[in-house]
Structure 1
Amino acid sequence: MSLLSRFLVGATFRTSEPEFDIGEEIEVYVTDYDEDSDKVFARVGQSQLRFTDATKDLVGCRVLARVEQYDTAQNRGAAIHLETIEQSSW
């Protein structure tokens, strides 16, 4: 085994289009609020998760969320807010 191979053991690379499983709990930053639909979103790479139960004061916060639905073809899904991990510093 080469030195590089030993160094990279267990390393993974992020993708710009992650996939999520229903029921998966993930930490994300809440990034957007759409005034027209009154919905809050988190973007993870090219993927977008819409929160079904969040308010706009979560924008900028790091939260724990549970994925409720996810469409891999569209890179879109819905999640619920479980817990705020870190408040916004904006």
Structure 2
Amino acid sequence: MGDSDLVKNIDDLKEILGIVTEKVPGLLRGLRDVLYSKDAAANMADAVATFYTKLVEAGIAKEQAMDMTRGYMINLRDIFGGKDGFNVNIGGSDDRRRDD
């Protein structure tokens, strides 16, 4: 690989990273807004209530149905922001504890 190829590859990489830096934060904010909107909350509440009701109707004890429903209700912040998950700190302060 000659010097001109290396410079072209570096310039291409800079361009790609610039686009990623420009576009990705907005895409993630949009995803967050969809996942945590009032409509999304209402839909999740309906789904969770239906799940619990169907378990009880199927003969599952209420306490066990509640435990199963808690397991069903996954909080996306636990997936994306938990210690073992990804962190999608979008536009917020960086108040996470560092483990390094």
More strand by share: 1
Larger Rg: 2
More helix by share: 2
Higher relative contact order (CA 8 A, sep 6+): 1
Q: Does TM, normalized by the shorter one, top 0.5?
A: no
**So what's the TM-score if we normalise by structure 2?**
0.20
